[in-house]
Structure 1
Amino acid sequence: MATWDELAEYVRAEYEVLSDKPGEIRLLYTFDEESDRTQVMIVAREELDRKYEWVQIATPLGLARNVDLYALLDAIGHTTVSGGAAIMGDHIVIRHSLPLENLDINEFTDPLTLIAGAADELESEFFGGDEY
């Protein structure tokens, strides 16, 4: 994969798309068919220096005002190998960015899976459930 359009086509074919607008796809990541565990994931096109295409994978955990940020960031620092935390709007998100040029599909799907799993666990631990 080398372009946003190719990645977007793959995402539309492989995942349940919740919304699709230029430069951003929201999908419902399902952990397995036997459970009802899901995570809303945002896949967005980013541009670096107006010439390099990147993809950002993000997922919300909960409202920033409802969490002990130090404890959450400490947990993320000890448990996640892919992604980092940020505040976007009112929400804490875990996100990870990748250059699209020469991107192999596993370089997208592996971080997507890791971030979804980490978010699911952190939501449960710090926000009391699965809201996203």
Structure 2
Amino acid sequence: MATWGDLATFIRQSYRVVRDSPDEIRIRISFGPDEDTEERAQVMIIAREILDQKEDWVQIATPFATVDQVDLLSVLEEIGNTIVVGGAAVMGQHVVLRHSLPLINLDINEFLDPLELVAGAAEILEQTFTGRDDY
């Protein structure tokens, strides 16, 4: 999978798309329910980015809180201690977990594993720091 078009087609065929535009697709990933947890979900934003006006990259991002809901130092410490894939950023009023990958020569597992890890980690961060399921 080496182009944004190839990746976008795969995403549309494999996931529940909640918003679709030329350079951004949003999908909903559900977690649970099991006997101990209720069903929760995370909206994932998958966007085409162009690095240095020449290289296609894909960015996986998902909000898990607003800036005013959390203590940013505590969030960053938690991410530093527990998260393997992705990093935190503030985008507008949202705190997001995100990860970026070059599209050239991208193998599907190089996309799927980070997508699942970012979604799962953001879901845990959202639950831990807000106690809600807003995203």
2:8 counterpart residue number: 8
The 5-angstrom pairing of residues 27-106 of structure 1 reads 27-31=27-31, 36-106=39-109
The 1:123/1:22 distance shift into structure 2, 3 A limit, reads same
Letter in 2 for 1:9: T
Specify the alignment match of 1:26 in structure 2. 26
Shift of 1:33: 7.2
**TM-score scaled to structure 2, two decimals?**
0.94
The residue number in structure 1 matching 2:118 is 115
Instruction: Give the count of matched residue pairs.
Output: 132
CA spacing shift, 1:79–1:18, aligned 2, 3 Å: same
Aligned letter for 1:14? S
Cα distance, 1:32 vs structure 2: 5.2
1:22-45 C-alpha deviation (Å, 9 max, x unpaired): 100000012357662211000000
Question: CA-atom RMSD, angstroms?
Answer: 1.2
Instruction: Give 1:128 deviation, angstroms.
Output: 1.3
* Counterpart amino acid of residue 112 in structure 2: T
TM-score normalised over the length of structure 1: 0.96
In structure 2, distance between residues paired with 1:9 and 1:25: 10
SS across alignment from 2:132? coil
Q: Which of the numbers 127, 131, 135 marks the counterpart of 1:124?
A: 127
Where in structure 2 are there 5+ consecutive unaligned residues? none
**Cα-to-partner distance string for 1:26-74 (whole Å, 9 max, x where unaligned):** 0001235766221100000000111100000000011111110000000
In 2, the alpha carbon distance for the partners of 1:43 and 1:108 equals 10
